[in-house]
Amino acid sequence: MNPVDSTQSFPARLHLLIPRNSNNGIVIRRGPSKQVCILNWDRIKNKFTVSQWLKGRIYERRSDISPSGKYWIYFAMNGKWQSEAKGSWTAIARVPWLKAIELLAKGDCWHGGDLFLDDQNYWLNDGYGHYSLFTSNKITRNKSYQPPNYYNGECLNVYYNRLQRDGWNLKHRNKKDKNDNSETILEKKLTHGWKITKICHEQLNSPPGKGCYWDEHELFNENGDVLTKPKWQWADWVDNAIVLAEDGCLYKITIKE
């Protein structure tokens, strides 16, 4: 494998959080690698507004948004290990802001992040190590809940459970090979006989410009046609259209009969 050129630049990585019962959304834009921008998406006006920047990392696969679109959860790291938040933390904030209404310091990047169970209750991907700095009476941690499936303690435990909660069906999960690589395939039915497949890679020696977790996609129709989309880093069925992220841009595709 050829070494990565440290001077090589890559398009921003985009990841979206779409609430189930609201017409807004959040875009998590990573790029450069140690900077993250949060944008609000007004899906009625199709308007994007920059909210805040973070000098650090937000782990998008450990994040979630409440069904009403009012709150969101994120796990972040800025490496300031001597700070009150211990350099990494799980936060719950009002959409689309970063300022926490509930904050749990972590101090490392094991576990972290949450899933909303409804608008007032959430599950914490804890494992060990979270330390509560302050809480809110608007939301409550459900300590007895456990997700339907377990995918180890980091990103995938939140991400795969979130996808399945939001209508993606788990089709196949490979066992890790001798290099500790594997892939998980999920599928969602669309309209007019189409379906979309999300191929989620867990890879130590990932291709240049991709992290250890990265996705690609395929489209199928009932006639057997297959459209392979390796550059779609994020895609989902939103407002009766395919919304996708490719090369740092968002696109919308409608399906006609």
Of 191, 122, 200, 112, which is closest to residue 163 (Cα–Cα)?
200
Indicate the pTM of the whole model.
0.93
Per-residue model confidence (pLDDT) at position 178: 67
Q: Each residue of 50-93: pLDDT tens digit?
A: 999 999 999 999 999 999 999 999 999 999 999 999 999 999 99
- Inter-CA distances, 200 with 64, 85, 97, 167, Å: 18, 31, 28, 16
Per-residue model confidence (pLDDT) at position 133: 97
The tokens 């066992």 sit on which residue?
175
Q: Each residue of 38-59: pLDDT tens digit?
A: 999 999 999 999 999 999 999 9
Confidence of residue 256 (pLDDT cuts 50, 70, 90): confident
| Measured distance CA(88)–CA(137) in Å, rounded | 23
The better pLDDT of the pair 129, 162 is held by 162
Phi, psi of 157 (to 5 degrees): -65, -35
| Measured distance CA(118)–CA(106) in Å, rounded | 24
- Number of other residues whose CB lies within 10 A of the CB of residue 211: 15
Read off the pLDDT of each residue in 150-166 and give the average, rounded to a whole number: 94
Per-residue model confidence (pLDDT) at position 122: 98
Confidence of residue 7 (pLDDT cuts 50, 70, 90): low
Q: What are the contacts of 219-223 at 24+ separation with CB within 8 A?
A: 219/194, 219/195, 220/194, 220/195, 220/196, 221/192, 221/193, 221/194, 221/195, 222/193, 222/194, 223/193
| Measured distance CA(127)–CA(104) in Å, rounded | 13
Per-residue model confidence (pLDDT) at position 83: 94
Per-residue model confidence (pLDDT) at position 179: 67
Read off the pLDDT of each residue in 105-109 and give the average, rounded to a whole number: 95
The better pLDDT of the pair 83, 127 is held by 83
**125-129, 204-208, 241-245, range with greatest mean pLDDT:** 241-245
Per-residue model confidence (pLDDT) at position 208: 85
Per-residue model confidence (pLDDT) at position 244: 98
